[in-house]
Structure 1
Amino acid sequence: MQETQVKPTMEEQADRRLFFQRQGIKESLSAQESWGRRGLHLPGRTSRRCSRMMGWRPWDARWHKHTDPLPHNASKGKPWHVLWSSSSFSAVLDFLKELKAVTYSLLKRLKERSLDSLLEAVESRGGMPGGCVLVARTELRLGGQAAPPHLLLGKLFRWPDLQHPAELKPLCECQSFGVADGPTVCCNPYHFSRLCGPESPPPPYSRLSPNDEQKPLDLSDSTLSYTETEATNSPNITPGDFSDASTSPDAVKRSHWCNVAYWEHRTRVGRLYTVYEQSVSIFYDLPQGNGFCLGQLNLENRSETVRRTRSKIGYGILLSKEPDGVWAYNRSEHPIFVNSPTLDIPNCRTLIVRKVMPGYSIKVFDYEKSCLLQHTADLDYTDGPYDPNSVRISFAKGWGPCYSRQFITSCPCWLEILLSNNR
């Protein structure tokens, strides 16, 4: 095995700094300036793919050499060596050595096609998620604990603080979806999302402020006609490379399960997007795939705030209809904010808006809870029009009791998910 010295570029140094920040290591370490991206190169096509997958991680010999603060002639019996060996940073180095060995043992099991799919998913950061990478459900050991393959690669390439496989949820398009204990498991880290944990409720807050001039959006007419502003500024749809799943011949034969409306402040932009498939991607710019492309919706006289927010949508969200409800997976690099009747506290005026970080997913609508609420909800606690089957999702900007924007109509870019009664 030979070590190849490679001088890192500015972009590679930026990637490196991001990794150090995620690991909680100070940026001032000299390792960031000295450690090459490609790491150790091994002979053979498969080994080269493994090296390319792992090369940008800090585990090659140069990283260890440049991060050791002890003099080269330091005696192992001296107090400073004892202190260094017992330090937390030394434990990080030991963990990285073990992580490298365990990961190589996993990647070497994969065929070239699986490695190519995995490499494509990692390099595109999920823009091209690739196919399933199935491996035997064998228990690897990392740090003295069991580390299933999907947990190991999820921790390595996406969430360094990931601790337990129960925190992960397979996407509906993955072969591991709905299979709890099969003989194989998909280890493609971009075929999984991380579950949102419970949040403490916000302080008491009234949905409506009598002194506020801005009225809440009337949902009763949102599915029937365009607003006056939209009728005046009809968007020009530019033909793109993305197919429209909602108008395919096969889709027309099936009943739809939701309609999606895109809003900029109080103006609805574009037509209602009807969803027939089990899942739909809603995005601004996606390297590969189909769905509702918000980047193709043009509107005259957009404000600078809206333009900046639209640029943050990126890969957007994946909305999926599943047996227990409707889930939203945040594929973008910025948080999304969600409000839903089934996320609210029953019989309470407090507005609950959940913040969903990149890479996380949340059940935005619970079927069982919705049925229960329709029989037990007290309408005296609702102000104005109330739609029990409507979900609102804002990109990058939050609203409600914790934000300066009190209403969803103050958010620059947001979605209205209008669910049908068909499950």
Structure 2
Amino acid sequence: MVRKILQAKLRLIAWLVVRKHSPLVIAITGSVGKTGTKDAVIKIVSDNGYRVRGTSGNYNNEIGVPLTIIGSTSGGSSWLSWFLIILKGVRMVLIPAAYPDVLVLEMAADRPGDIGYLAKIAPPDIAIVTAISSVHLEFFKSVESVATEKGSLLQYLKSNGTAILNADDKRVLDLKSRYHKKFLTYGIISKSDVQANNIALVYDKDPHLKAIVLAHAQQCSLILPNFIARHHLYGILAAISAGIALKIPLSNIVLSLKDLTPPKGRMTILPGVKHTTIIDDSYNSSPQAAVEALNTLKQLAARRKTIAVLGDMLELGSYTQKAHFELGHTLAKLKITDLITVGEKATDIAQGAIKAGMSKSKIFSFDNAPAAGRFLQDRMRQGDFILIKGSQGVRTEKIVKEVMANPEKAKDLLVRQGPEWQS
């Protein structure tokens, strides 16, 4: 009851703040890719003269979105802190003051109706739908139900706004037939308004991505020194589309992206102990993202030994067992050298790999991240390439910390290193 009262107050104040200051709102939803897209949008927009505020951390729900609009962090268990947050919001409504030109808001949906709740607070001028997949299924009947919920963001798009859709995701692209809006599409495979061609993982001093971006009869070379994963291009193309919707020249957009970095724990390369290479993808996991990560591991390692450390994929509902089993099958077909699973659900990854022909002698299962990390440190050898990935609840960043060459830098390099996570 108390939480509902707080939630209602925050919602009203955030709604009033948006109406008072009239920022341009860029809303981002989707099953995966929201944070990477948000970071790229913020980089492009802020580098091109706009004052920007964006979602921080996991502030993408009924509490987090109002906090972002107000410009505050959570009050935690302190009622005084929450009172001061509410007071700050009231002052923003009543007293003229500077406010960002643009709000970039992630909007998550764990249950039907979540997107509508958030979009009514801050109706978007630009709405981005990144991808629809089998995550957060616990409170949805099917992936199609997820698509309906995520796609409902377009219902709240302002009449003169632009909807930006991933053309390579059929469920996302199908939204074009449901809503009469102005659309921009982006993609790698399908023909789209903003498209990446000639994508390559380049091995200079450090591996990185490069591509040619085509948009409205223009083209520019895109170089991403800090990125290795092809699937990260989707968030970047979505952000480029947002820049185009804001009439920012393509050359300026591409220039802004040269020093963009992926969020912590999302396909970042770290040096490991024993002169190994770690691909840290420990932020979260889903079937689609895990397959993409395995493909990147295989491509990056070439013929060297590969170790995949894979934790439970959570919030998959009735698809849980099948999703883990299919991931194991994919891993075996990619001929990943060793598999280490973490958590009860991840044992089905092992079963899928065995069924697809992977030797049991190359598969090791653990109940928790610390035990898996200690085993991995003994198992890894010079030159190995190691992918570490799992849902947040598995805490696979603990494994990364165990095997990274510079654990003293963990607070700067890894996810979930604040005091609230140290238990």
Where on the TM-score scale, by shorter chain, does this alignment land: which range? under 0.3
Bigger radius of gyration: 1
Q: Which has the higher helix share?
A: 2
With normalisation by structure 2, the TM-score equals 0.26
Which structure is higher in RCO with an 8 Å CA cutoff and minimum separation 6? 2
- What TM-score comes out, normalization by structure 1 length? 0.26
